Chain A
Amino acid sequence: GAVVSQHPSWVICKSGTSVKIECRSLDFQATTMFWYRQFPKQSLMLMATSNEGSKATYEQGVEKDKFLINHASLTLSTLTVTSAHPEDSSFYICSASSGDEQYFGPGTRLTVT
């Protein structure tokens, strides 16, 4: 089946620094990738839709200058959290489209101290 990986699986950073999270489709090419965020005991919330070679589309309320998304190839999308603050601590999950289906990565837990 289609496999999506994320790196790192967890990261701790200091307030004010930037963190980059990678999302890779390992055995298929994905023209569209999605980034979700999940706070404790809550459901997944879509942050942005990323299409290869074009600018990401952000959901309402998500700051595009804070959450930089790059989808430079058909197998890699990156999410950079710039100037991270403790309120950005969350579980970040990506998914990649293969045909009409979506496959999810294992998630990245970000803790900002």
Chain B
Amino acid sequence: DAKTTQPPSMDCAEGRAANLPCNHSTISGNEYVYWYRQIHSQGPQYIIHGLKNNETNEMASLIITEDRKSSTLILPHATLRDTAVYYCIVRVAHAGNMLTFGGGTRLMVKP
């Protein structure tokens, strides 16, 4: 699986949009971009994933550049409960494929 690069930490004001970047310049054509987050002392929570089109769900939006070498996770109205470590992972979508976690971005939402 391709490696990803994320900033180690970011701050965001409560109620504002949080934009979390991820670089994955070596991504292969059949690899999806996945985002998970981990709130302190809990298991990771799936957020969203996409291949090349932008995706949106009730939690977030995922913007993937046209060359697929980078992406941005957008939390439109961050709340204090969104404080967590956010992991960007690229992976071939297959039941037998594990997730390889990098360092992630520690997002701190401040009042």
Contacts and interface: CB of A to CB of B under 8 A. Distances in A.
Interface of A: 4, 6, 31-32, 34, 36, 43-46, 49, 51, 91, 93, 95, 97-107, 109
A107 B41 contact: yes
B102 A43 contact: yes
Interface residues of B, number: 21
A31 B95 contact: yes
Contacts of A104: 36, 43-46
Interface string B84-101: 000100000111101111
Q: Tell me the interface secondary structure of chain A in the complex.
A: strand
Contact of A46 (B44, B95, B98): B98
Per DSSP, chain B at the interface is loop
A74 to B, nearest CB: 12
A103 B95 contact: no
Interface in B46-98: 46, 49, 87, 93-96, 98
B15 interface: no
Given A43-B101, A43-B102, A43-B104, A97 B95 contact: yes
Contact of A109 (B41, B49, B103): B41
B43 A99 contact: no
Nearest to A94: B43
Given A34-B99, A49-B96, A101-B93, 19 more contacts: A43-B104, A44-B38, A44-B44, A46-B100, A49-B98, A91-B41, A93-B43, A93-B44, A97-B96, A98-B95, A99-B95, A101-B46, A104-B36, A104-B45, A104-B46, A105-B43, A106-B42, A107-B41, A109-B41
Contacts of A101: 46, 49, 93
B94 A44 contact: no
A4 B42 CA distance: 12
